Each structure stands twice: as structure tokens, then as C-alpha cells.
Amino acid sequence: MEVLVSLLLVGLAAAAWLQAQADAVRQTRLSANQTLALMLAVDMAERLRASPAMAPGMGFSAPFAAQASLRTISCEGAGCDAQAWAAADASQWRQLVRDALPQGSTQVQVDAASGQARITLAWRDPAALDSAFGSGSGQRCPAELALAAQDGVLCYTLEVAW
């Protein structure tokens, strides 16, 4: 009987340890995605600061689901004006976000008159649905991304001025 009780206690301890390991892996993945989102948002902020005259051409908004089918715009050669270059640069950055984050999507709101922008990155994270880690870790997503709370999507927003 004592051996059975000992085995039960060892089994419970092992189950608790495995659950703690799974939570640690989920939290590490969430943290890595948040760090990557911050780096990508700072990248766009630097693009806006480097070319303030072209900032209005870098604004973008589309629903989260629609962003999977967007095509990257290319602007090479002498035939591109400043606005076409800005649109192509923003398009390539959006593709970088899409490739770097799980189903990564973006929204960039530019107010050129005040020299300010709001950069939002969104990505799907299944841990946001099945864990307390995800639910409180992301920021509120903008309504323009057309997301519901049960979508398991986290957002990161950075406001910048130049």
C-alpha cells in the first residue's frame, strides 16, 4: 500500500512538472513573438523617420484575414516616384511581418501633419486561447483589423513621432 501511495505522489509530481514545462515553453514563444513584434515596429518607425515626406504613402489598413492574400509591391528602376517607392517599401515591410510572425498582419496609421504614426502588429497565437499567459499579454487590437476576442490574435502597438 505504501508503494502505491508513493507511486501516486511521484506521478502527481511528474504531471505538475510537465505542466510547468509546457507553460514555460508557451510563455517563451509568446515572449519571443512580442520581442519580434517590437523590433519590426521599431523598423517601421525608423523607415518613417528616415523619409518623413513619404510617410503618408506608408499608411495601411486591412482586415486581419484579408492580409494573407496581399501581394508585395515592387518598385525598381528609374520609373518610380517617391510615393510609389514609399508604397513598395511599406509593402515589403508588411511581407517581412507576415513571414516573421505567425499569420503576422499590420496596420499603420500616419498623421503627416503632426508627424505621428501608430504602428500595430497582430499575429495569431493559439496560447492566447488556452492559457492565461496569452490573454493578458497582448494589447487591444484596433477595430479595423476585424478581430473577435476568440480569434486568438495578439496585437502590439507602437506610437512614434518624428
Percent of the chain with pLDDT over 70: 89
Q: Is the pLDDT of residue 131 over 60?
A: no
Confirm if 135 and 107 have CB atoms less than 8 A apart: no
Cell of 53: 515626406
What does each C-alpha distance from 45 to 22, 23, 50, 80, 143 come to in angstroms?
A: 35, 33, 9, 22, 22
> Cβ atoms within 10 A of the Cβ of 156, count?
22
Give the pLDDT confidence of 148-160 residue by residue, as tens digits. Answer: 766 788 899 999 9
Q: What is the pLDDT of residue 137?
A: 46
> Cβ atoms within 10 A of the Cβ of 44, count?
24
CB burial string 13-28: b at 16+ within 10 A, e below: eeeeeeeeeeeeebee
pTM for this structure? 0.78
Confidence of residue 29 (pLDDT cuts 50, 70, 90): confident
Distance, in Å, from the CA atom of 37 to the CA atom of 42, rounded to the nearest integer, reads 9
